[in-house]
C-alpha cells in the first residue's frame, strides 16, 4: 500500500498520481532505445552530466594500452601514416578526381580570360586553346574511366556502407565541353584553310 500524505489537498494528490500514470503509459509503449534516450535526456535536464571529468576536452585516441603486444606495431603504422588498402584506394580516387577537376578549372579560366579581353584572341591563341580543350577533354575522359575502374575495385572489397557511386563519364565530359566552348576558326580569304595556317 502506498503512503498518501493527507495533509495535501486532494487535487494535488490526484494530479501527482496522474502524472506518474501518464509517464508510465508513455514508457510502456516505447521501444527500449527510446526509453534509454528519454532517461538520458532527463538526466541532462537535471544536470547530472555537468562538471564531469574531461568535459570539453578531446578524446585521447593515442592510448594503445589495450592493444597489448601489438601496441608497438600500431604505433609504427600510425606514425608512418599507413592506411588499409581500401582506405588508400579511396584516398587515391579522391586525390585523382581533385587533380583532374583542377586541370579543368585552369582550362575554363583560360577560356574565360580569352573571351573577356578587349582585343579578340589571335588565330594562334584560338588554335592553341581549341587544341588544349580537345586534349584536356580526352585526358579527362580517360581519367574518369580509370577512376570508375578503381571505384569498381573499391566497391568489391569494402562493405556496402562504404560503396562509392560510379562517375557519369559522358555527362561530366559534356559539361566540361559546354563550359569551355571552342573558338571558331575563320576561313582564310585565300582559300588556304583556316586563318594563320600554312601549307
Give the mean pLDDT per block of 10 residues along the chain (199 residues): 62 58 63 76 86 79 76 84 88 95 94 90 91 95 96 93 93 94 70 43
The set of cell numbers assigned to 153 is: 575495385
Q: How far, CA to CA in Å, does 188 sit from each of 4, 93, 125, 194, 197?
A: 107, 46, 16, 5, 8
pTM beyond 0.95: no
The set of cell numbers assigned to 160 is: 556496402
Amino acid at each position: 500500500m502506498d503512503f498518501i500524505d493527507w495533509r495535501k489537498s486532494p487535487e494535488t494528490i490526484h494530479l501527482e498520481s496522474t502524472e506518474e500514470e501518464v509517464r508510465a503509459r508513455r514508457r510502456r509503449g516505447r521501444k527500449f532505445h527510446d526509453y534509454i534516450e528519454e532517461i538520458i535526456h532527463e538526466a541532462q535536464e537535471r544536470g547530472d552530466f555537468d562538471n564531469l571529468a574531461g568535459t570539453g576536452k578531446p578524446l585521447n585516441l593515442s592510448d594503445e594500452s589495450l592493444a597489448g603486444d601489438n601496441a608497438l606495431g600500431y604505433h609504427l603504422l600510425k606514425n608512418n601514416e599507413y592506411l588499409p588498402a581500401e582506405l588508400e584506394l579511396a584516398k587515391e580516387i579522391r586525390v585523382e578526381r581533385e587533380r583532374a577537376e583542377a586541370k579543368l578549372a585552369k582550362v575554363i579560366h583560360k577560356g574565360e580570360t580569352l573571351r573577356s579581353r578587349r582585343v579578340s584572341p589571335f588565330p594562334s591563341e584560338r588554335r592553341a586553346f581549341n587544341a588544349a580543350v580537345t586534349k584536356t577533354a580526352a585526358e579527362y575522359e580517360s581519367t574518369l574511366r580509370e577512376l570508375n575502374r578503381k571505384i569498381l575495385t573499391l566497391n568489391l572489397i569494402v562493405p556496402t556502407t562504404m560503396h562509392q557511386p560510379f562517375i557519369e563519364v559522358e555527362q561530366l565530359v559534356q559539361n566540361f565541353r559546354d563550359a569551355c566552348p571552342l573558338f571558331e576558326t575563320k576561313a582564310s580569304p585565300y582559300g588556304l584553310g583556316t586563318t594563320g595556317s600554312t601549307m
